[in-house]
Amino acid sequence: MDEPVTTAGPGTGMPDTAARAVTTTTILPTESRQRMRDGTELLLRTWLPDSQRYPEPLGTLLLVHGLAEHCGRYFHVADLLCGLGLRVRAYDLRGHGASGGPRMVAPHPDIYVDDLAEIHDAAVRQWNEMPIVLGHSMGGLVAARFATGRIRPIRALILSSPALALKLSGGMMTLHRVLLALVPRLRVPNPIDARLLSHDPEVARAYRTDPLVQGTITAGVLESFIRGMAQAQADAPRLESPMLMLVAGADRIVDPAGSRTFHDSAPEDLREMIWFETGYHEIFNEAEPLRGEVFAALSGWLGRHLETPAKP
């Protein structure tokens, strides 16, 4: 591609599907549960596109949410994706939302990648096609590791504000190592400041009052970040599928510099990054007009890639 890195600015425009996704949710999901190999049950939500417009969906997309949140915060994103002809499956990570497992506990650093592999396998069995994988923040890290580690073949990779680098002080790292050695499952306050998620104050209010949003973190979960980020960066050259990165330039939850490093290490013919200079971390929940520009970028990229049929 001619310009793998783009900086988004005003006047990008927004297709009708994106406008609908921002203002209302028209497609409701079905809910189910999937039991992981260790017996933990995860909540799944599945959205299907309008059968009148799309008698056969154009593809399957697996959505992986971020740290401490849940997939119930992505109804508007699923609505947009269904409007493009995709079926969407999202799930609450273990220890998150309505899924099982001890709250905010990672039994081992690769557990979230392992769970995604099981979700992937069940979707492939059900629909017999390679899925697109979209991950936000921590989910972006999980998705990036899944793709670059070649855990399973995927059709395409989309990363939204991926957690590919964090700014951790020496003191924080020392505390982390102590907690990891002594009490890896001890829940301590989550440092995420809701005001830094979006320029829209309603997003911060909804986040703070959402009973399914977790207010704690454990050393075991943080260790999955630390090890996972290093592994993803090392494996970036091994990417085999087309990749879109949607990066918030003013992100103070994760370090956006990690996205640049990852992008620059990925194969040149597969990578594309769009940089939203003023965006805060949750670019799918940003204030207008930025949110519309993000949805337009996502819609445009997917529209081009959906022209190529998925292979089993």
In whole angstroms, how far apart are CA 197 and each of 22, 86, 153, 213, 271? 17, 27, 32, 13, 26
Indicate which residues carry an active-site annotation.
137, 251, 281
Task: Name the β-bridge partners of 294.
Answer: none
Q: Which two tokens stand for residue 62?
A: 């697996």
Three-state SS at 79 = helix
What are the start-end ranges of the E strands in 92-172?
132-136, 156-160
As a whole number of angstroms, the distance between CA 33 and CA 204 comes to 29
- Cα distances from 201 to residues 205, 283, 287, in angstroms, run 6, 14, 9
Residues 6+ apart with CB under 8 A from 236: 144, 148, 261, 262, 263, 265, 266
- Which DSSP category does 240 fall into? -
